Amino acid sequence: MQLRFREYQKQDFNPLKEIIRETWHYDEFSSPKTASKLAEVFLSSCLTNYTFSQVAVLDDKVVGIILVKDNKIHQCPPGNRLRQIKSIIKLYLSKEGRSVFQIFKDVNEIDKQLLDNCHKTYPAELALFAVSSSHQGMGIGKNLFQTALDYIKRQKLDEFFLFTDTSCNYGFYEHQGMSRRCEKSHIFRFPEHQVKMSFFIYDYNY
Protein backbone atom coordinates (compact mmCIF):
# COMPACT_ATOMS: atom_id res chain seq x y z
CA MET A 1 0.00 0.00 0.00
CA GLN A 2 1.22 3.48 -0.89
CA LEU A 3 0.11 6.40 1.28
CA ARG A 4 0.86 9.96 0.24
CA PHE A 5 -0.26 13.44 1.20
CA ARG A 6 -0.87 16.38 -1.11
CA GLU A 7 -2.87 19.60 -1.35
CA TYR A 8 -6.61 19.52 -2.06
CA GLN A 9 -7.56 19.29 -5.76
CA LYS A 10 -10.95 19.85 -7.37
CA GLN A 11 -11.33 16.19 -8.30
CA ASP A 12 -11.19 15.31 -4.58
CA PHE A 13 -14.58 16.91 -3.93
CA ASN A 14 -16.87 13.94 -4.61
CA PRO A 15 -14.89 11.29 -2.70
CA LEU A 16 -14.48 13.70 0.23
CA LYS A 17 -18.19 14.48 0.12
CA GLU A 18 -18.92 10.77 0.64
CA ILE A 19 -16.44 10.57 3.54
CA ILE A 20 -18.19 13.52 5.23
CA ARG A 21 -21.63 12.02 4.58
CA GLU A 22 -20.50 8.80 6.28
CA THR A 23 -18.53 10.45 9.12
CA TRP A 24 -21.37 12.71 10.23
CA HIS A 25 -24.08 10.04 9.68
CA TYR A 26 -26.27 12.19 7.43
CA ASP A 27 -28.17 9.15 6.13
CA GLU A 28 -29.48 8.46 9.64
CA PHE A 29 -31.76 11.50 9.59
CA SER A 30 -32.43 12.13 5.89
CA SER A 31 -32.97 10.38 2.56
CA PRO A 32 -29.86 9.38 0.56
CA LYS A 33 -30.42 12.22 -1.94
CA THR A 34 -30.71 14.84 0.80
CA ALA A 35 -27.77 13.34 2.74
CA SER A 36 -25.59 13.77 -0.34
CA LYS A 37 -26.70 17.39 -0.79
CA LEU A 38 -26.09 18.18 2.88
CA ALA A 39 -22.57 16.73 2.66
CA GLU A 40 -22.00 18.94 -0.37
CA VAL A 41 -23.09 22.02 1.60
CA PHE A 42 -20.83 21.12 4.50
CA LEU A 43 -17.73 20.43 2.38
CA SER A 44 -18.22 23.46 0.13
CA SER A 45 -18.59 25.62 3.26
CA CYS A 46 -15.35 24.24 4.72
CA LEU A 47 -13.58 24.98 1.43
CA THR A 48 -14.37 28.68 1.87
CA ASN A 49 -12.52 28.60 5.17
CA TYR A 50 -8.91 27.42 4.82
CA THR A 51 -5.36 28.47 3.99
CA PHE A 52 -3.73 25.02 4.21
CA SER A 53 -4.94 21.66 2.95
CA GLN A 54 -3.66 18.11 2.98
CA VAL A 55 -5.47 15.17 1.45
CA ALA A 56 -4.50 11.59 2.29
CA VAL A 57 -4.37 9.32 -0.76
CA LEU A 58 -3.96 5.56 -0.31
CA ASP A 59 -3.26 3.63 -3.51
CA ASP A 60 -4.81 6.46 -5.56
CA LYS A 61 -7.95 6.52 -3.37
CA VAL A 62 -8.80 9.65 -1.36
CA VAL A 63 -9.20 8.56 2.28
CA GLY A 64 -8.96 11.74 4.37
CA ILE A 65 -8.52 15.49 4.56
CA ILE A 66 -7.41 18.21 6.95
CA LEU A 67 -7.91 21.96 6.50
CA VAL A 68 -6.38 24.76 8.59
CA LYS A 69 -7.20 28.46 8.48
CA ASP A 70 -4.65 31.11 9.40
CA ASN A 71 -7.01 33.98 10.15
CA LYS A 72 -4.43 36.65 9.34
CA ILE A 73 -3.94 35.63 5.70
CA HIS A 74 -7.26 33.93 4.87
CA GLN A 75 -9.01 34.96 1.67
CA CYS A 76 -11.87 32.93 0.22
CA PRO A 77 -11.51 32.17 -3.52
CA PRO A 78 -14.64 33.43 -5.36
CA GLY A 79 -15.13 30.05 -7.03
CA ASN A 80 -15.33 28.29 -3.67
CA ARG A 81 -17.92 30.78 -2.40
CA LEU A 82 -19.97 30.32 -5.54
CA ARG A 83 -19.95 26.53 -5.12
CA GLN A 84 -21.12 26.93 -1.52
CA ILE A 85 -24.03 29.15 -2.59
CA LYS A 86 -25.05 26.75 -5.37
CA SER A 87 -24.98 23.77 -3.00
CA ILE A 88 -27.21 25.58 -0.48
CA ILE A 89 -29.70 26.45 -3.22
CA LYS A 90 -29.82 22.80 -4.37
CA LEU A 91 -30.51 21.67 -0.81
CA TYR A 92 -33.25 24.28 -0.41
CA LEU A 93 -35.20 23.02 -3.42
CA SER A 94 -36.87 20.26 -1.38
CA LYS A 95 -38.91 20.40 1.82
CA GLU A 96 -36.66 17.79 3.45
CA GLY A 97 -33.60 19.74 2.36
CA ARG A 98 -34.89 22.92 4.01
CA SER A 99 -35.62 20.95 7.17
CA VAL A 100 -32.15 19.40 7.51
CA PHE A 101 -30.50 22.69 6.58
CA GLN A 102 -32.00 24.06 9.77
CA ILE A 103 -29.88 21.51 11.67
CA PHE A 104 -26.81 22.81 9.84
CA LYS A 105 -27.73 26.38 10.85
CA ASP A 106 -28.36 25.29 14.46
CA VAL A 107 -24.90 23.73 14.66
CA ASN A 108 -23.30 26.88 13.27
CA GLU A 109 -25.11 28.94 15.90
CA ILE A 110 -23.94 26.56 18.66
CA ASP A 111 -20.37 26.89 17.39
CA LYS A 112 -20.62 30.69 17.52
CA GLN A 113 -21.92 30.53 21.08
CA LEU A 114 -19.07 28.22 22.10
CA LEU A 115 -16.49 30.58 20.65
CA ASP A 116 -18.11 33.55 22.41
CA ASN A 117 -18.03 31.61 25.69
CA CYS A 118 -14.28 31.10 25.37
CA HIS A 119 -13.76 34.87 25.54
CA LYS A 120 -10.70 34.80 23.32
CA THR A 121 -9.65 35.20 19.72
CA TYR A 122 -7.62 32.39 18.19
CA PRO A 123 -5.13 33.05 15.39
CA ALA A 124 -5.92 29.76 13.64
CA GLU A 125 -8.61 27.12 13.28
CA LEU A 126 -8.54 23.48 12.28
CA ALA A 127 -11.47 23.89 9.89
CA LEU A 128 -12.04 20.29 8.76
CA PHE A 129 -10.63 16.89 9.68
CA ALA A 130 -12.09 13.63 8.39
CA VAL A 131 -10.80 10.15 7.63
CA SER A 132 -12.79 7.40 5.95
CA SER A 133 -14.13 4.98 8.59
CA SER A 134 -12.81 2.00 6.62
CA HIS A 135 -9.28 3.41 6.85
CA GLN A 136 -9.18 4.46 10.50
CA GLY A 137 -6.70 2.83 12.85
CA MET A 138 -3.95 2.96 10.21
CA GLY A 139 -2.24 6.13 11.45
CA ILE A 140 -3.66 8.23 8.62
CA GLY A 141 -5.44 10.65 10.94
CA LYS A 142 -2.36 11.07 13.12
CA ASN A 143 -0.21 11.83 10.08
CA LEU A 144 -2.74 14.33 8.72
CA PHE A 145 -2.90 16.01 12.11
CA GLN A 146 0.89 16.28 12.18
CA THR A 147 0.90 18.05 8.80
CA ALA A 148 -1.47 20.63 10.31
CA LEU A 149 0.77 21.12 13.35
CA ASP A 150 3.80 21.56 11.09
CA TYR A 151 1.97 24.20 9.05
CA ILE A 152 0.88 26.10 12.16
CA LYS A 153 4.48 26.08 13.44
CA ARG A 154 5.76 27.37 10.09
CA GLN A 155 3.24 30.20 10.30
CA LYS A 156 4.58 31.02 13.79
CA LEU A 157 1.11 30.75 15.35
CA ASP A 158 1.06 30.00 19.06
CA GLU A 159 -2.33 28.28 19.26
CA PHE A 160 -5.35 27.05 17.33
CA PHE A 161 -8.79 25.61 18.00
CA LEU A 162 -11.39 23.32 16.49
CA PHE A 163 -15.08 22.51 16.85
CA THR A 164 -16.14 18.91 17.42
CA ASP A 165 -19.02 16.98 18.96
CA THR A 166 -20.13 13.61 20.29
CA SER A 167 -20.87 12.27 16.79
CA CYS A 168 -17.09 12.24 16.18
CA ASN A 169 -14.09 10.55 17.77
CA TYR A 170 -13.34 13.63 19.86
CA GLY A 171 -11.11 11.60 22.19
CA PHE A 172 -8.53 11.63 19.39
CA TYR A 173 -7.85 15.30 20.06
CA GLU A 174 -7.13 14.65 23.73
CA HIS A 175 -4.66 11.95 22.72
CA GLN A 176 -2.94 14.54 20.51
CA GLY A 177 -2.49 16.91 23.46
CA MET A 178 -5.43 19.24 22.88
CA SER A 179 -7.55 20.59 25.74
CA ARG A 180 -11.33 20.94 25.95
CA ARG A 181 -12.17 24.59 26.62
CA CYS A 182 -15.93 24.93 26.20
CA GLU A 183 -18.93 22.66 25.74
CA LYS A 184 -22.65 22.93 25.12
CA SER A 185 -25.45 20.35 24.87
CA HIS A 186 -28.36 20.49 22.46
CA ILE A 187 -31.39 18.30 21.68
CA PHE A 188 -32.30 17.86 18.02
CA ARG A 189 -35.93 16.85 17.52
CA PHE A 190 -36.97 14.78 14.51
CA PRO A 191 -40.48 13.58 13.57
CA GLU A 192 -39.98 10.14 15.15
CA HIS A 193 -37.16 10.63 17.64
CA GLN A 194 -34.81 13.10 19.27
CA VAL A 195 -31.06 13.12 19.68
CA LYS A 196 -29.04 14.79 22.42
CA MET A 197 -25.54 15.87 21.43
CA SER A 198 -22.70 17.71 23.09
CA PHE A 199 -20.54 20.18 21.19
CA PHE A 200 -16.98 21.15 22.16
CA ILE A 201 -14.13 23.53 21.47
CA TYR A 202 -10.68 22.04 21.83
CA ASP A 203 -7.51 24.09 21.59
CA TYR A 204 -3.77 23.56 21.38
CA ASN A 205 -1.08 25.87 22.75
CA TYR A 206 2.59 25.76 21.85
Count of domains in the chain?
Answer: 1
Dihedral sign (CA 197, 114, 103, 8): negative
Q: Is the pLDDT of residue 37 over 90?
A: yes
Q: Domain residues for 167?
A: 3-205
SS3 13: helix
140-187 pLDDT per residue, tens: 999 999 999 999 999 999 999 999 999 888 999 999 999 999 999 999
Is 90 exceeded by the pLDDT of residue 57? yes
CB 174 within 8 A of CB 91: no
- The alpha carbon dihedral of 44, 46, 52, 58 has a sign of negative
Domain with residue 177: its CATH number is: 3.40.630.30
